[in-house]
Amino acid sequence: MMRKRRARRCDPRVEILDERRLLSGYAPAQITGAYGLNAIRFTTPGGSTVAGDGSGQTIAIVDLYHDPALQASLNAFDVRYGLPSVTVTVDNQAGSQINDAWSGEETLDVEWAHAIAPGARLLVIEVAPGSDDQEQFNNMLAAVRSAAGTPGVSVVSMSWGYSEFSGEAAYDSAFTAAGVTFIASSGDYGQVTWPSASPDVLAVGGTSLTLTAAGAYSSEAGWSSTGGGISADESAPSYQATVNPGGARSTPDVAFDADPGTGVSVYYIPPEDPTGAGQWTSVGGTSIGAPAWAGLVAIADQGRALGGLSSLTGSTQTLPAIYAVPNADYYKVPLTTPSGNSATNTAINTSNYNTQTGLGTPAGSSLVLALMKASVTAPTPTPTPLPSPTPTTSPGRLSPPVPIALPQPVSGPGPVSASPVPAPPGSAAPSPSPSPTPPPASPPVAAPLVARHRPAMRHVRKAHTLGARGRRHFRMRRGHAAFFAHRVGPPKGVDHPASFEIPPVISSPVL
């Protein structure tokens, strides 16, 4: 019997707090300090010391629609938090098509990739929404391939996802370019989503992060709305053999702060607001994790480049290394039981891995060092699962990381010169990826799919109209104070409610 097709709707992975719950989100210094990413230094074989900030690398971010105020929003964010300025390279494929929800997503992605790796270059591909779901899907995959094929790009961040659909594995080849790591948010509705379900993609789940009064790491718990569980369409990769006893891929792999109640600070200029006013707000959702982990991987790639190594390939280096590092390289974050019975994110729950937070959140420079030393692991059939490693206690807050000695290259150019801190060389150009033309649809999903009502939208308690021109309609979902934007009028691309709230006006964030 032919398997029933499932709807494909692309949703951004961002949640914004009601202004009554939190005045502002965590600042970059608080997040990088909590996760031990704020003082990474590389010591070259010649003895020079350079900051681990992603210099020489390019992070590509793929989102829908055009955001005309993206650079202005990032400039304000950098000034507020003392970050170095950077000019974003934008590949605008959407023309003049704008959407407040997706602009909010794009702003978050850019600001927090830059917050984690302030030395990295940023490339944003603004994808045309298309005239229907199938065209939009094809456009998104073409943009991912284009990003991966851009010289210098070593990481691709995707803070969006689709409900799983039959035949999705046929599209996973979009995430296998050499020298590139693909990272996706796992979702915000307790279910498995794609492309995070692809075994070639690093899937990032979410946590609720608590800091001490002094700003130090205190504790974390799984964010109950995090997307995760066992994939219905993807086979288990061999790198999950020690944590996943089944034959299907489980998500997420790792995690990052995501709970709207412990969100991050973002400066956002809604493009559909006729006043053009910018707003400070607190943002949550697994959207934070994809660009943040992209920044972490860019820092590791910077270290590899300084040591004469090529940038990481996600499927054969990054992901196997992520699962091979010691438990002490992660904060092990316990699962939180979600309310209701529709979530699939409690499928695996052990001391070393669960389907809300994966292996955990980054616990300092040792994780970066492990990624720097990663060797190539050829894909192999999934072996019989091994016994789980002996449980370890969650590490406490780390001291400032010591300089990291760069790994010696297996082959290639010699050590970096010891001359005064030159600009790090760019990462090796990835192997040419397939042409960015839309991939051929496999028979089960060739035709445009009928939209499926998203389960989260059953939890609607009130609706109201915002905006001077009444152009957008918003619904509040019970439980997370998240608004869902819906385009009024003929649908164009993302006409399905997207989980992004128009930010509340806040004078300035609280540091």
Contacts of 300 (CB under 8 A, 6+ apart): 312, 368, 371, 372
From the centroid of its chain, how far is CA 381? Answer: 27
What is the reported pLDDT for 341? 64
- Tell me the pairing of strands 193-194 and 160-163: antiparallel
**pLDDT for 432:** 40
Would the pTM count as exceeding 0.85? no
Res 392: pLDDT: 29
With beta carbons less than 8 A apart as the criterion, state whether 185 and 289 touch: yes
Sequence letter at residue 256:
F
Per-residue burial over 244-278, b = 16 or more CB atoms within 10 Å of its CB, e = otherwise? beeebbbbbbbbbbbbbbbbbbbbbbbbbbeeeeb
Q: What is the pLDDT of residue 13?
A: 55
In degrees and rounded to multiples of 5, residue 429 shows phi and psi of: -65, 130
Q: Is residue 206 within 8 Å of residue 226, measured between CB atoms?
A: yes
Residue 349 DSSP code: B
**Which residues contact residue 109 at a Cβ distance below 8 angstroms, ignoring those fewer than 6 apart?**
61, 63, 124, 157, 159, 287, 290, 291
Residue 398's alpha-carbon distances to 158, 303, 318, 380, in angstroms, are 29, 20, 23, 35
CA–centroid distance for 311 within its chain: 18
User: Domains of the chain by range and CATH?
Assistant: 11-387+397-445 (3.40.50.200)
pLDDT score, position 4: 41
Distances (CA, A) of 148 to 92, 107, 114, 137, 175: 16, 21, 19, 17, 8
What's the pLDDT score for residue 9?
A: 62
List the chain pLDDT tens, one digit each, 511 residues: 334 444 466 766 554 433 323 447 999 999 999 999 998 999 877 888 999 999 999 999 999 999 999 999 999 999 999 999 999 999 999 999 999 999 999 999 999 999 999 999 999 999 999 999 999 999 999 999 999 999 999 999 999 999 999 999 999 999 999 999 999 999 999 999 999 999 999 999 999 999 999 989 999 999 999 999 999 999 999 999 999 989 999 999 999 999 999 999 999 999 998 888 899 999 999 999 999 999 999 999 999 999 899 999 999 999 999 999 999 999 999 999 987 667 899 999 999 999 999 999 999 889 998 999 887 654 433 333 333 333 222 222 222 333 443 433 333 322 222 222 233 333 333 344 343 434 433 322 222 222 222 322 222 222 222 233 333 322 222 222 232 222 222 223 332 323 322 222 222 222 2
Q: Which residue type occupies 305?
A: A
The torsion angles phi and psi of 478, rounded to 5 degrees, stand at -65, 140
